[in-house]
Amino acid sequence: MQSIFYERARDVNHAIDLAREPGTKFIGGGTNLLDLYKSGIEKPLRLVDVSRLALAGIEELPDGGLRIGAMATNTAVGTDPLVRQRYRVLSEALLNGATTQLRNMATVGGNLLQRTRCYYFTDPAFARCNKRDPGSGCDAIDGHNRIHAILGASEQCIATHPSDMAVALAALDAIVHLQGPDGERQVPAADFHRLPEDHPEVDTVIRPGELITAVELSPMPFARHSHYLKVRDRASYAFALVSVAAVVDLDGGSVRDLRIVLGGVAHKPWRALDAESILRGQAPGAELLARAGAAAVAGAHGYRDNAFKVELAQRAVVRALQTVIRKSGGQV
């Protein structure tokens, strides 16, 4: 058995300095990393414990937004009064994910960095997985692919990203704050994860040695009128087959602005820009909502076991929008 060097970081700079060593992984709650380590998928040589860093705060910003520390737990964020009041879709997404015990351990930073739950990736018994072993192939394409992607996939990988939180963050125009050897930088949450293309082993745009320090939510007043719809095989404790984060700003009977982001359908949260364009500035009647649902999955490709996701995603978009509009006092 290979030994692992473990050290607890004193502060952010110390953590980044320790991460300069090859084979280093940061560990917070460890709810995903430890599972992958036990399966032999992740093979870190060094673990840098960042769980005690002063990055768990949730603070209101002068412009009305929120800054959420990367070490804040999913439970803390999902139940925070300001999050529930101003960013309902984020609270709903977090509280619809995992069990209470996992939410009490899992962190915001770890949630963003969790890896796919594709069976062929998480089980080393399957030899062909380009995400685990680049160039080996993809057993999911011709295998059991019920939970897999219908949008943004490639011949290299058809896995989906499992996070509920990331879908809501993309709909809220959130910003991910990073700090690494080259200093600090910010990345829009919608751009943090990447599509597989020819390198499915690269999940995000994070650079070697970088640490997520916070997520910033922009002051979006109409985010109060939002909803996270999660469609899954079980009523709880299951990953989404399809999910929708919908945020709608109504001006009288018309849609002034909105965000529609899908989860469970792609390698990253999928922003439905064409669907948004159909509704923006219009009265959201049944026919228009149906057109938006169809536009949200334009270009989708179903495989042997998951073609049902195309229609399911259309219907989920319509249902999520109907829910938000009705709760906002609008008519559909």
**What pLDDT, in 10s, does the model give residues 186-237?**
999 999 999 999 999 999 999 999 999 999 999 999 999 999 999 999 988 8
**CA 314 to CA 242: how far, in whole Å?**
10
Token couple for 192:
């943090």
Q: Going edge to edge, which strands form the sheet with 66-69? A: 58-60, 66-69, 211-217, 175-180, 183-188
How would residue 1 be classed by pLDDT, with cut points 50, 70 and 90?
low
Residue type, 312: L
Q: Give the pLDDT score at 179.
A: 98
Tell me what the mean pLDDT of segment 266-294 comes to.
97
Residue 279 and residue 254 in contact, taking contact as beta carbons nearer than 8 Å: no
Torsion of CA 196, 129, 113, 171, to 10 degrees: 40
Q: Give the pLDDT score at 98.
A: 87
CATH class of the region 224-327:
alpha beta
**What pLDDT, in 10s, does the model give residues 45-75?**
999 999 999 999 999 999 999 999 999 999 9
Q: What is the DSSP string of 105-159?
A: H-BHHHHHHPPP--HHHH-TTS--BTTTSTTS-BTTTTS--TTS-SSS-BTTB--
**Is the pLDDT score of 43 beyond 80?**
yes
Tell me what the mean pLDDT of segment 71-96 comes to.
97
Q: Give the pLDDT score at 2.
A: 73
Tell me what the mean pLDDT of segment 295-310 comes to.
98
- Quick one: which of 89, 280, 104 has its CA closest to 189? 89
Q: How many other CB atoms are found less than 10 A from the CB of residue 219?
A: 14
Mean pLDDT across the chain, nearest whole number?
A: 96
- Quick one: which of 325, 297, 331, 324 has its CA closest to 168? 324
**Is the pLDDT score of 96 beyond 60?**
yes
**CA 229 to CA 224: how far, in whole Å?**
15
Q: Give the pLDDT score at 70.
A: 98
User: Against a cut of 0.95, is the pTM above it?
Assistant: yes
Tell me what the mean pLDDT of segment 284-308 comes to.
97
225-250 residues labelled b (16+ CB within 10 A) or e (exposed):
bbbbbbbbeeeeeebbbbbbbbbbbb
**CA 105 to CA 322: how far, in whole Å?**
34
Domain layout of the chain by residue ranges: 5-48, 224-327
